[in-house]
Amino acid sequence: MAEETFQISRGESEKREYPEIQELKSRIEKLESQLEKEKIPEEKERIVKQEIKSYLQELQKIPSFTPPSNTQDEAKEISQFEPSQQIGALISLVFEKSLVEAISVARQLNNPALLDEFHDTLVDYYYWRLIEKKILKF
């Protein structure tokens, strides 16, 4: 499992597992071997980002029955923010709770444009995270 250390507000460190990084790692390894065979290194960034976006869209399609009340509460709170702040709040939820939880809250906001921008921001974040962890090599 991919783990990261992050700072808690009191200055303490805590290890947190990000299963989505592990899933993306396995998907990227398959893509990289395919790209090497096809000799398309200049297309790598676009193809990898598309794979990350596909993964995020798959997570979004997981049916959510009645969302837990805390998800509804989060969505209600975030809906009161300015649109630019809503993306930041959703990104924070990814790290505080989980990617699945943040996607669930984003769906509750019922704003397709916001959901799309959230996905685009996450794609860029995970792309650079994979490079930083040396899972993607350029």
Q: Taking residues 102-128, what's their average pLDDT?
A: 89
Q: How far is CA 113 from the centre of its chain?
A: 16
Q: Taking residues 119-135, what's their average pLDDT?
A: 86
Q: Taking residues 37-59, what's their average pLDDT?
A: 79
Which tens digit of pLDDT belongs to each residue from 82-95? 988 999 999 889 88
Q: Taking residues 115-126, what's their average pLDDT?
A: 89
Q: Taking residues 60-89, what's their average pLDDT?
A: 79
pTM for this model (two decimals) = 0.63
Domain boundaries, the chain: 15-132
Confidence (pLDDT) at 34: 74
Mean of the per-residue pLDDT values for the chain? 77
% pLDDT > 70, the chain:
76
Confidence (pLDDT) at 107: 87
Q: How far apart are the first and last CA of the chain?
A: 23
